């Protein structure tokens, strides 16, 4: 199904999927504005594309209500995401590309990876379940591990949590998080929360002292 869709279509479906994962489990449709913002495009072009995707049976879209993936749309999104996350893992583990650079490379390569090469990469890596940022890699059959919807920003003062995954698309944030040890699996304790919008003062197990995270960055770290 993937080979019948353009890169642009694949990017929209992927963005919609990621927004659906990040919303609350009982969430409603994704607002057009949220999708446009994530893709860095205008609301007008997003609306046009959603109409096209609805015609193709890949999304359900109602004006003023937003959009959601149909089962077919979800299948395509998961295929692209499988490519993306396998490529990130391959680039990081086999080629030694830093974790803040693999996303940009995978964004391009995900659209041109053949099924044959995808299979070879997966078996060479031992069919990994997670990418370097802690995101679950969908299986060939479209199965995917349930991701947490709780962010580090939501952890109460004095509480601890384990990092599940971090957002992969802001290289500066990834470099900072790696420097202070906020990596998938790390145990974090929230020491103190600044007034209003933070910052969040945290302690990372195995690291001395405390570090500060803005609300923006703490909201892109998901925990269990
Ligand atoms: Zn990525």
98: CATH: 1.10.10.10
pLDDT band at 48 (very low <50, low <70, confident <90, very high): very high
**Where is the domain boundary, 144, 162, 187?**
144
Q: What is the pLDDT of residue 26?
A: 63
- Same domain for 168 and 188, yes or no, is yes
**Where is the domain boundary, 144, 177, 203?**
144
d(CA 140, CA 122): 10
**Of 75, 69, 221, nearest in space to 148 by CA:** 221
pLDDT band at 23 (very low <50, low <70, confident <90, very high): confident
- Same domain for 172 and 208, yes or no, is yes
How many structural domains does the chain have? 2
Which sign, positive or negative, has the C-alpha torsion 2, 20, 39, 131? negative
What range defines the domain where residue 90 resides? 1-144
The pairs formed by 28-35 with CB atoms below 8 angstroms and a separation of 24 or more are 28/65, 28/66, 29/60, 29/62, 29/65, 29/66, 29/67, 29/68, 30/66, 30/67, 30/68, 31/66, 32/66, 32/67, 34/66, 35/66, 35/67
- Same domain for 156 and 139, yes or no, is no
d(CA 20, CA 27): 8
Q: Is the pTM of the predicted complex or chain greater than 0.95?
A: no
> What's the CA-to-centroid distance between 169 and ligand 1, angstroms?
6
> What's the CA-to-centroid distance between 102 and ligand 1, angstroms?
7
> What's the CA-to-centroid distance between 208 and ligand 1, angstroms?
29
Do residues 5 and 65 touch, judged by C-beta distance below 8 A? no
> What's the CA-to-centroid distance between 36 and ligand 1, angstroms?
18
Do residues 184 and 165 touch, judged by C-beta distance below 8 A? yes
Do residues 93 and 130 touch, judged by C-beta distance below 8 A? no
pLDDT at 27 over 80: no
Over residues 64-119, the pLDDT tens digits come to 788 999 999 999 999 999 999 999 999 999 999 999 999 999 999 999 999 999 99
> What's the CA-to-centroid distance between 192 and ligand 1, angstroms?
30
Residue whose pair of structure tokens reads 């391959």 in the numeric block = 90
> What's the CA-to-centroid distance between 101 and ligand 1, angstroms?
9
- Same domain for 28 and 119, yes or no, is yes
- What residues pair up with 222 in beta bridges, in sequence order? 151, 165
> What's the CA-to-centroid distance between 201 and ligand 1, angstroms?
27
Cis peptide before 199 (omega within 30 of 0): yes
> What's the CA-to-centroid distance between 103 and ligand 1, angstroms?
4
- Phi and psi, residue 133, nearest 5°: -95, 5
- Same domain for 44 and 81, yes or no, is yes
> What's the CA-to-centroid distance between 210 and ligand 1, angstroms?
28
Residues of the chain with pLDDT > 90, as a percent, come to: 85
pLDDT band at 208 (very low <50, low <70, confident <90, very high): confident
> What's the CA-to-centroid distance between 155 and ligand 1, angstroms?
25
**Where is the domain boundary, 127, 144, 161?**
144
> What's the CA-to-centroid distance between 110 and ligand 1, angstroms?
10
Do residues 67 and 50 touch, judged by C-beta distance below 8 A? yes
- Same domain for 47 and 103, yes or no, is yes
Do residues 185 and 203 touch, judged by C-beta distance below 8 A? no
pLDDT at 196 over 90: no
pLDDT band at 1 (very low <50, low <70, confident <90, very high): low
């Amino acid at each position: 199904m993937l080979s019948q869709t353009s890169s642009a279509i694949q990017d929209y479906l992927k963005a919609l999927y990621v927004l659906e994962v990040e919303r609350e489990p009982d969430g409603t449709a994704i607002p057009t504005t949220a999708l446009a913002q994530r893709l860095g495009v205008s609301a007008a072009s997003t609306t046009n594309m959603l109409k096209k995707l609805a015609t193709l049976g890949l999304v359900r879209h109602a004006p003023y209500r937003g959009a959601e993936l149909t089962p077919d749309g979800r299948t395509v999104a998961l295929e692209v995401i499988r490519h993306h996350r396998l490529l990130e893992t391959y680039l990081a583990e086999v080629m030694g590309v830093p974790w803040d650079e693999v996303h940009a490379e995978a964004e391009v390569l995900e659209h041109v990876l053949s099924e044959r090469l995808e299979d070879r990469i997966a078996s060479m890596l031992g069919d990994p379940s997670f990418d370097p940022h802690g995101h679950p890699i969908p299986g060939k059959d479209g199965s995917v591990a349930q991701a947490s919807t709780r962010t580090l920003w939501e952890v109460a003062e004095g509480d601890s949590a384990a990092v599940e995954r971090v957002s992969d698309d802001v290289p500066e944030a990834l470099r900072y998080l790696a420097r202070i040890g906020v990596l998938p699996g790390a145990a974090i304790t929230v020491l103190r929360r600044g007034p209003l919008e933070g910052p969040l003062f945290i302690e990372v197990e195995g690291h001395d002292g405390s570090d500060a995270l803005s609300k923006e960055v703490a909201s892109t770290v998901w925990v269990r």
